[in-house]
């Protein structure tokens, strides 16, 4: 089954009739290509992956290759779109994504944290233009903004008497002005 599906995809490619979806589905059926979406994480195209995402993707592929070699993944069942095999394949990836690596990092957590940092890098709650730009980007990406959780806040991680005037200005800008600006 697996080899016949490979042949079919190669013929579609040769005939210029293959879609990205055809190729992606077949790659996932090899048992060594992660699903495009795992839990809350969406894999970017290879050329757009950050260094961290590239590392995690490579580690996941290595894990999948090990599982394939151990007989835990059956490409024939995946290429036949067997529901139980497909669910098991996704569950295998989700377990890996949510389990600590030897260095203690949890792939899903570090990847989502990186996306959050990327999104929030340009965000400054006290800056009216930054708030407006963040809302415009959200609407452009998602089509609309249904709810605002006006929850920006910061603190000074030291004793009050050790805080500088600049640090206190920043707290007031974010905790007070930011709430006003975002509302």
pLDDT tens digits for range 18-73: 776 666 676 677 666 777 777 667 777 788 888 988 999 999 989 988 998 999 98
Do 48 and 134 reside in the same domain of the chain?
A: no
Final residue before a domain boundary, out of 106, 138, 171: 106
* Predicted confidence (pLDDT) per residue in 87-113, tens digit: 898 899 899 989 999 999 999 888 888
pLDDT at 122: 55
Give the model's pLDDT for residue 42: 75
Count up the domains in the chain and report the number: 2
Predicted pLDDT of residue 62: 92
Same domain, 35 and 99: yes
Q: Are residues 41 and 84 in the same domain?
A: yes
Q: Is there a single domain that holds both residue 12 and residue 40?
A: yes
| Rounded percentage of the chain residues whose pLDDT exceeds 90 | 13
Copy the structure tokens of residue 128.
Answer: 């009216």
Evaluate whether residue 116 is within a structural domain. Answer: no
- The alpha-helical segments, DSSP class H, found in 47-174 are 51-69, 75-79, 83-97, 107-120, 128-142, 165-172
Question: What pLDDT score does 101 carry?
Answer: 94
Closest CA to 128 of 181, 170, 169, 177: 181
User: What DSSP state is assigned to residue 32?
Assistant: S
**Domain identity same for 55 and 100:** yes
- Whole-number pLDDT of residue 63: 92
**Residue the block writes with tokens 């779109």:** 81
On whether residue 117 sits in a domain, the answer given is no
Q: Are strands 37-38 and 41-42 parallel, antiparallel or unpaired?
A: antiparallel
- The full DSSP string for 48-72 is G--HHHHHHHHHHHHHHHHHHHTT-
56 lies in the same domain as 85: yes
At 2 the pLDDT is 58
- Let me know whether 11 and 88 are in one domain: yes
Same domain, 15 and 100: yes
Measured from the Cβ of residue 109, the count of other Cβ atoms closer than 10 Å reads 13
| pLDDT at position 77 over 90 | no
Q: Are residues 74 and 140 in the same domain?
A: no
Residue 115 inside a domain? The answer is no
Residue 71 lies in a domain: yes
* Each residue's pLDDT tens digit, 112-141: 888 766 665 556 666 788 778 878 888 888
**CA–CA separation, 35 vs 85, rounded Å?**
13
Yes or no: say if 58 and 25 are a contact pair by the CB < 8 Å rule: no
Model confidence pLDDT, tens digit, residues 148-173: 777 777 788 788 888 899 888 888 88
Helices then strands, counting H and E runs in the chain, come out as 9, 2
Lookup: tokens for 148? 């605002």
Does 77 lie in the same domain as 48? yes
Taking the C-alpha atoms of residue 134 and residue 120, their distance in angstroms, rounded to an integer, is 9
What pLDDT is recorded for position 103?
95
Pair 60, 137 in one domain: no
What's the pLDDT score for residue 169? 87
In a domain, 113, yes or no: no
**Which range of residues forms the domain containing residue 136?**
122-182
Report the alpha-carbon distance of residue 132 to residue 136 in Å, rounded.
Answer: 6
């Amino acid at each position: 089954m697996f080899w016949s599906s490979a042949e079919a995809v190669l013929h579609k490619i040769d005939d210029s009739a293959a879609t990205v979806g055809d190729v992606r589905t077949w790659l996932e059926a090899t048992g060594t290509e992660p699903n495009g979406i795992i839990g809350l994480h969406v894999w970017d195209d290879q050329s757009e992956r950050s260094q961290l995402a590239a590392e995690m993707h490579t580690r996941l592929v290595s894990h999948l290759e090990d599982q394939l070699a151990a007989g835990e993944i059956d490409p024939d069942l995946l290429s036949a779109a067997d529901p139980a095999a497909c669910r098991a394949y996704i569950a295998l990836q989700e377990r890996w994504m949510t389990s600590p690596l030897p260095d203690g990092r949890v792939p899903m957590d570090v990847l989502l944290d990186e996306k959050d940092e990327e999104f929030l890098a340009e965000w400054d709650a006290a800056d009216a233009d930054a708030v407006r730009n963040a809302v415009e980007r959200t609407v452009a990406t998602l089509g609309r903004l249904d709810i605002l959780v006006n929850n920006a806040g910061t603190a000074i991680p030291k004793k009050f008497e050790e805080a500088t005037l600049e640090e206190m200005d920043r707290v007031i800008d974010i905790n007070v002005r930011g709430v006003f600006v975002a509302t």
